[in-house]
């Protein structure tokens, strides 16, 4: 009886840890052009529901966001950008390889 309860508790714990963490790369309009924009985005978006981490890259104007897919969606994150007057768009990350190969 006791071992069964323990087993159930362990199984439940592993479900809790198996969170659906996803990553999305966004660009904004207007683009981030200085650290002020970067800070504004970071300070606001990190308080949105389900946001795990935000990495901004001023060189290629992208924002990489790690989020909990159980709590939020890319659409919700984009809505968060609307609140601070930024239009965000999802970047297709799969084509980064092809741009690198054309440089040879």
Tell me the site size for Cu ion, rule CB under 5 A.
4
Q: Which is nearer to Cu ion, 19 or 33 (CB)?
A: 33
Binding mask 18-37 for Cu ion (x = CB under 5 A): ---------------xx-xx
Report the nearest approach of Cu ion to the CB of residue 60 (Å).
Answer: 16
> Does 39 help bind Cu ion (rule: CB under 5 A)?
no
Verify binding: residue 5, Cu ion, rule CB under 5 A: no
Contact 88, 97 (CB under 8 A): no
Distance CA 75, CA 33 (A): 24
Contact of 55 with 94, CB cutoff 8 Å: no
Q: Do residues 20 and 50 lie in contact, with contact meaning Cβ atoms separated by under 8 Å? A: no
CB of 34 to Cu ion, least distance (A): 4
**Residue 56: Cβ within 10 Å count:** 19
Q: Which two tokens stand for residue 2?
A: 């006791």
> CB 84 → Cu ion: shortest distance, Å?
12
| Contact footprint for Cu ion (CB under 5 A) | 33-34, 36-37
């Amino acid at each position: 009886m006791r071992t069964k309860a323990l087993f159930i508790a362990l199984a439940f714990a592993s479900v809790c840890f198996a969170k659906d963490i996803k990553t999305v790369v966004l660009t904004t309009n207007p683009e981030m052009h200085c650290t002020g924009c970067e800070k504004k985005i970071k300070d606001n978006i990190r308080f949105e529901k389900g946001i795990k981490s935000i990495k901004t890259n001023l060189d290629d104007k992208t924002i990489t966001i790690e989020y909990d897919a159980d709590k939020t969606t890319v659409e919700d994150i984009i809505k968060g950008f609307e609140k601070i007057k930024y239009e965000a768009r999802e970047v297709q990350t799969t084509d980064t390889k092809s741009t690198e190969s054309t440089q040879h």
